Amino acid sequence: MDRKDPLDKIRNIGIVAHIDAGKTTTTERVLFYTGRTYKIGEVDEGTATMDWMVQEQERGITITAAATTCHWKNCRINVIDTPGHVDFTVEVERSLKVLDGAVVVFDAVNGVEPQSETVWRQADRYNVPRIAFVNKMDRPGADFDETINQMYTRLSANASAVQLPVLEDGSLVGMIDLVEQKMIKYKDDLGKEFEILPIPQEMLPRSNKARLLLLDKLSTVSEHIMEDFVSGKPIGPQLLREAIRKMVLKNHFVPVFCGSSLKNRGIQPLLDGVYEYLPSPLDVPAVKGMNPDTGEYEELTVSDSAPFCALCFKIVTDPYVGKLHYLRIYSGKVTPGAYIYNASQRERERITKLIQMHANRQEVIDIAFCGDIAAAVGLKEVKTGDTLCEEKSPILLEAMHFPEPVISQAIEPKTKSDQDKLGLALHKMEEEDPSFRVAYNHETGQTIISGMGQLHLDVIIDRILREFNVEANVGQPQVAYRETLTKKITSTGKFIQQSGGRGQYGHVVVEMGPPDEPGKGIVFEDKIKGGAIPREFIPAVKKGIIDSAKSGVLGGYPVTDVIVTLVDGSFHEVDSSELAFQMAASLAFKDGLRKASPVLLEPIMDMEVTVPEEFMGTVVGDLNSRRAKIATMSQRKNLRIIKAFVPLSEIFNYATVLRSITQGRASYTMEPSFYQEVPLHIAGKIAVRATSSR
């Protein structure tokens, strides 16, 4: 079967931005103008197609990235609308990993906001070419030029306008297209009809100036433009578009569009921009993967006839069809009924059904091609980040990075019958969301859930209660501390019981120490020589260590960043068992931790507070009393911006504090940045509190 949409006419794009910039509102218009929906969905009315979860509709925010597909001028655009709230950053991360291009939305009044910076950095990390859309041009105080200016200063983006807003009596009626040198003027409220007119006389000086700026940037890449520019010849739109496309694909330039999604202005030209300037799967650098058999890196071929290779970037539990595995197909094609090879888990599995997702609506398809984003049904063991391929051409794509949770909360089923349901629900949530973790504390019998923030856990708890019908009590949210060690030591663990009958015999010697750089988790290395411990017991030793690292020796917090090397041990012909070695390893690890000067780690938040001048002193003073390290202070219009790193434990409920010390005139955002050692005098108190509450 041949593909309907040629590869060069496919655009896989993400819509990314700070919370509330208008990503979903924009996506809803995209669906409407491309004929996907016949009526515009509104976030404010809870009718947005893309925000389909009840929790999204009730709260008016996007929580989970939703995918859909539409056609615009012979081009197929696969869109992922992502959430802006920092608690759901993993959704942006995994979307950018599999997308070829992005539309970054800005609020024209607020300019470049903290989360705009975060998503911009994420897109940089994955080298995703992007175009910018300055939205909300209808709002009083909207400032197109200032927003572009902030793109330079705050994002170091080589951005330039390709449009200018046209306002009449304060309302946005259209835009000047600097490439075509025409004016687009809307004729109806729904924004379906517009006319193309010459640029009005009074706007010519401004538009000429903006066009010169654009040409100046482009002349650095295009010799033609440079020559024509220097010799004063007119430069045609086609030449300009080619130059823009070339620079965007190299990630050297960001064309800036403007509009108002809510007022249905500017979406069609933006869609043209997606088609004109963002890459098709053929335009992005070849994706590389490692052949697990040879250890060599290989480049994937972007072609339907190449061997199949896809990345599973998201799993969603569907009440009717079971698990949906979202795939980005990088090469080859796949049909339902196909056996695929999961190179990450080294397992064969069968895809029973293929689905094209439209937010939560499913359209069954009978083939998915190279460059597509589709969902597979029938896969059982495939996890987020796994590579699926053909068994005879195995390949492993680069794994995804997921952030560490910073907040935890105890959750307890109300009745015995809720217990099993809770376990199942938590397991499903953990499968869907790599930034959500579940741990069981054997000492207290408590189940502890951890996530990226209060909202993240609130939403998960809400889903557990409603979707899975579980009755549960939840504790107060706590900072998710961790433990690690600071010294290299050797530790011995023995689990020996030899009185009568068959005994137990496990004996291990491990070296334990910190890694060169943090973020490694628990690393186990086996350096046993001469069969001091038989091969078959090594996995049990590893399990003993991984299990006991789940709760440390200071406050029972998870242990991280320890390299454990198994160097020696002994065994007994009859009495040794997996269990005995697991126990011995666990004892060695716990004892080793105690000896290796353990310390408590706490999450440090990267915070930005926007405050009117007169409250600046009060806010800085308060932050200083919260162990904050002020990084920078700057000014934007008449507001002061304080950037600081603050321990999460000090700013629980900061919203209330900030409101009261600034009469509600300041705002802040924060996101987890890194883990840092807790100062000794504070660590003592935390550890005591933790152990006494357990």
Ligand X SMILES: Nc1nc2c(ncn2[C@@H]2O[C@H](COP(=O)(O)OP(=O)(O)OP(=O)(O)O)[C@@H](O)[C@H]2O)c(=O)[nH]1
Binding site for ligand X (CB under 6 A): 17, 19-25, 43-44, 61-62, 83-85, 135-136, 138-139, 260-263
Partner whose footprint covers residue 154, from ligand X, Mg ion, none (CB < 5 to 8 Å by kind): none
Residue 89 engages Mg ion in binding (rule: CB under 5 A): no
Strand partners, 125: none
User: Coil, helix or strand for 335?
Assistant: coil
The nearest distance, CB 62 to ligand X, in angstroms, is 3
Residue 135 CB, nearest approach to ligand X (Å):
5
Q: Compute the least distance from the CB of residue 692 to Mg ion, in Å.
A: 43
Q: Is 29 in the site for Mg ion (CB under 5 A)?
A: no
Q: Which does 25 bind (CB under 5 to 8 A by kind): Mg ion, ligand X, none?
A: ligand X
Options 24, 115, 387, 447; binder of Mg ion; rule CB under 5 A: 24
Q: How many CA atoms lie within 13 A of 370 on its CB side?
A: 23
User: Which distant-in-sequence residues (6+ apart) come within 8 Å of 229 by Cβ?
Assistant: 215, 216, 219, 235
Q: Please choose, out of 20-28, 295-303, 618-626, 658-666, the segment that lies near Mg ion by the rule CB under 5 A.
A: 20-28
Identify which of residues 23 and 328 has a Cβ nearer to Mg ion in the complex.
23
Q: Mention every residue, 6+ apart, whose C-beta is less than 8 A from residue 161.
A: 144, 148, 178, 210, 213, 214, 255, 256, 258
Our finding on whether 122 is near Mg ion (CB under 5 A) is no
Provide, rounded to whole angstroms, the least separation between the CB of residue 10 and ligand X.
24
* Closest CB 29 distance from ligand X, rounded Å: 9
Question: Does the footprint of Mg ion cover residue 49 (CB under 5 A)?
Answer: no
State the Cα–Cα distance between residues 444 and 475, nearest whole angstrom.
13
CB 481 within 8 A of CB 678: yes
Which ranges constitute the DSSP H helices of 126-222?
A: 144-155, 204-218
- CA–CA distance, 51 with 63 (Å, rounded to integer): 8
Q: Which stretch binds Mg ion (CB under 5 A): 18-26, 466-474, 551-559, 678-686?
A: 18-26
Distance of alpha carbon 152 from alpha carbon 446, whole angstroms: 50
Q: Please, what is the minimum distance in Å from the beta carbon of residue 95 to ligand X? A: 12
Q: Which is nearer to ligand X, 19 or 271 (CB)?
A: 19
Q: Which residues contact 692 (CB under 8 A, 6 or more apart)?
A: none
Binders of Mg ion: how many residues, by CB under 5 A? Answer: 3
State how far the Cα of 688 lies from the Cα of 694, in Å rounded to an integer. 10
- State yes or no: residue 95 binds Mg ion (CB under 5 A): no
Q: Which is nearer to ligand X, 24 or 560 (CB)?
A: 24
CA–CA separation, 257 and 243 (whole Å): 17
Cβ-contact 103, 16 below 8 angstroms: yes
Provide the token pair at 497: 């019981």
* DSSP classification of residue 444: T
Q: In sequence order, which residues have a C-beta less than 8 Å from that of residue 361 and are 6 or more positions away?
A: none
Q: In 549-613, where does DSSP find H-type helix?
A: 578-595
Tokens of 535: 């091969």
Alpha helices for 570-679 (secondary structure H): 578-595, 616-624, 654-661
Quick one: which of 300, 501, 472, 286 has its CA closest to 389? 300
CB of 88 to ligand X, least distance (A): 8
Q: Tell me whether residue 134 or residue 566 sits nearer to ligand X (CB atom).
A: 134
Q: Is 244 left (phi over 0), alpha (psi -120 to 50) or beta?
A: alpha
The least CB distance from residue 36 to Mg ion, in Å, is 17
Give the Cα separation of 547 and 497 in Å (integer). Answer: 22
Look at residue 262 and give the partner it binds from Mg ion, ligand X, none, a contact being a CB closer than 5 to 8 Å depending on partner kind. ligand X
Cβ closer to ligand X: 134 or 666?
A: 134
- The crossing angle, in degrees rounded to 10, of helices 578-595 and 538-548 is 40
CA distances for 377 relative to 309, 324, 457, angstroms:
17, 5, 28
Closer by beta carbon to Mg ion, 62 or else 447: 62
Q: Rounded to an integer, what distance in angstroms lies between the CA atom of residue 18 and that of residue 581?
A: 50
Comparison of 24 and 344: residue with beta carbon closer to Mg ion: 24
d(CA 470, CA 375): 28
Give the one entry of Mg ion, ligand X, none that residue 20 binds, where binding means its C-beta sits below a cut-off of 5 to 8 angstroms depending on kind. Answer: ligand X
Q: Which is nearer to Mg ion, 130 or 437 (CB)?
A: 130
Nearest to 447 by CA among 411, 408, 405: 411
Indicate whether 384 belongs to the interface with Mg ion (CB under 5 A). no
551 binds, among ligand X, Mg ion, none (CB under 5 to 8 A by kind): none
Tell me how far, at minimum, the Cβ of 157 lies from ligand X, in Å: 19
Q: From the CB of 17, what's the least distance to ligand X, in Å? A: 5
Cβ proximity of 113 and 82 under 8 Å:
no
Judged by beta carbon, residue 34 or residue 586, the one nearer ligand X is: 34
Give the rounded distance of the alpha carbon of 351 from its chain centre: 26
Comparison of 64 and 551: residue with beta carbon closer to ligand X: 64
The residue among 40 and 593 lying less far from ligand X, judged by its C-beta, is 40
62 scored as a contact of Mg ion (CB under 5 A): yes
Q: How far is the CB of 63 from Mg ion (least distance, A)?
A: 9
Rounded distance between C-alpha atoms, residue 329 and residue 369, angstroms: 7
Q: Is 136 in the site for Mg ion (CB under 5 A)?
A: no
Minimum distance of Mg ion from residue 79's CB (angstroms): 12
Using CB under 5 A as the binding rule, whether residue 27 contacts Mg ion is answered as no
d(CA 339, CA 351): 6
Closer to ligand X by CB, 60 or 539: give it. 60
Q: Least distance from C-beta 117 to ligand X, angstroms?
A: 15
CB of residue 16 to ligand X, shortest distance in Å = 9
For ligand X, give the closer residue by CB, 84 or 598: 84
261 binds Mg ion (CB under 5 A): no
Sites for Mg ion among residues 632-651 (CB under 5 A) = none
- 264 versus 331: smaller Cβ distance to ligand X: 264
Q: Binds 19, which of Mg ion, ligand X, none (CB < 5 to 8 A, cut-off by type)? A: ligand X
Q: How far is the CB of 75 from ligand X (least distance, A)?
A: 23
Cα–Cα distance for residue pair 514/493, rounded to 1 Å = 19
Residue 21 interacts, among Mg ion, ligand X, none and using kind-specific CB cut-offs from 5 to 8 Å, with: ligand X
Regarding 115 and contact with Mg ion (CB under 5 A), the answer is no
Taking CB under 5 A as the rule, which mask of x and - marks residues 422-451 in contact with Mg ion? Answer: ------------------------------
* Residue recorded with tokens 């930034």: 435
Which one of Mg ion, ligand X, none interacts with residue 136, CB within 5 to 8 A by kind? ligand X
Of 119 and 683, the one with the shorter C-beta distance to Mg ion is: 119
Binding status of residue 23 toward Mg ion by CB under 5 A: yes
Give 237-244 contacts, CB < 8 A, sequence gap 24+.
237/179, 237/180, 237/181, 240/179, 240/214, 240/215, 241/179, 241/276, 241/277, 243/218, 244/162, 244/179, 244/218, 244/276, 244/277
Site residues (vs Mg ion, CB under 5 A): 23-24, 62
